[in-house]
Chain A
Amino acid sequence: RKEVEQDPGPFNVPEGATVAFNCTYSNSASQSFFWYRQDCRKEPKLLMSVYSSGNEDGRFTAQLNRASQYISLLIRDSKLSDSATYLCVVNRAGGFKTIFGAGTRLFVKA
């Protein structure tokens, strides 16, 4: 079993739709959590950190459920420019080893 698992998708949604991605992680001692965005043939870039209390950044909302060991990302009012791969990222206890999921592919269509 992979340490970080995501639904690979692809998710095909129309502009303006709301879409949610989930991610599960297996190491209960994991310490910090992130969502990264990766465009085709580009490097991953930090989208947002994920906090236990949940956090929002514009149209993006991230949630963490430590008891169930899952992380979610909600994108509201999808834009064409949101089309990308979204990587769920978990940082192990001890602070330095950062593990990436395989990514969820999103296509937003006009």
Chain B
Amino acid sequence: DTGVSQDPRHKITKRGQNVTFRCDPISEHNRLYWYRQTLGQGPEFLTYFQNEAQLEKSRLLSDRFSAERPKGSFSTLEIQRTEQGDSAMYLCASSPLTASSGNTIYFGEGSWLTVV
């Protein structure tokens, strides 16, 4: 399978614990995105990488959230001191850096986080 891969798919954690999600994009894609989605809402943009550079972060990404893409390949999203409001599906997506793509982005299956 050469699509976007996310791990773990499901995570249940106690409030106050730290969690980390990993994303492996489609191999030739330079751009990588993290989104968060809650029930009844569309995906909300969190952050964007072009290769290893983090070019934009949403105001939604509080100090407890950090994302990295150290070698321009896989990425991690860490949430520190989790709160119940962090419960959501965290979606990773990637796209190629070509004008012809029109920036079509391709999603992984998502990582479901439940904070109890």
Q: Chain B contacts of A95 at CB under 8 A?
A: 103
CB A20 to nearest CB in B, in angstroms, measures 19
Counting CB contacts under 8 A, is B91 at the interface? yes
Q: Chain B contacts of A42 at CB under 8 A?
A: 109-110
The total of Cβ contacts below 8 Å across the A-B interface reads 52
Residues 37-96 of B at the A interface (beta carbon under 8 Å): 40-45, 48, 50, 55-56, 91
Given contacts A43-B91, A102-B40, A102-B41, contact A96 B103 (CB under 8 A): yes
A44-52, A63-71, A73-81 - interface stretch: A44-52
B contact residues, total (Cβ < 8 Å): 23
CB A39 to nearest CB in B, in angstroms, measures 11
Counting CB contacts under 8 A, is A28 at the interface? no
In contact, B108 and A43 (Cβ under 8 angstroms) = yes
In contact, A44 and B102 (Cβ under 8 angstroms) = no
Please measure, in the bound complex, the distance between the C-alpha atom of A91 and the C-alpha atom of B109, giving whole angstroms: 21
Counting CB contacts under 8 A, is B107 at the interface? yes
- Would you give the 0/1 interface string for B90-116, flagging 1 where the beta carbon is closer than 8 Å to chain A? 010000000000111111111000000
Listed in ascending order, the chain A residues whose CB lies under 8 Å from chain B are 4, 8, 31-32, 34, 42-46, 49, 87, 91, 95-103
Listed in ascending order, the chain B residues whose CB lies under 8 Å from chain A are 31, 33, 35, 40-45, 48, 50, 55-56, 91, 102-110
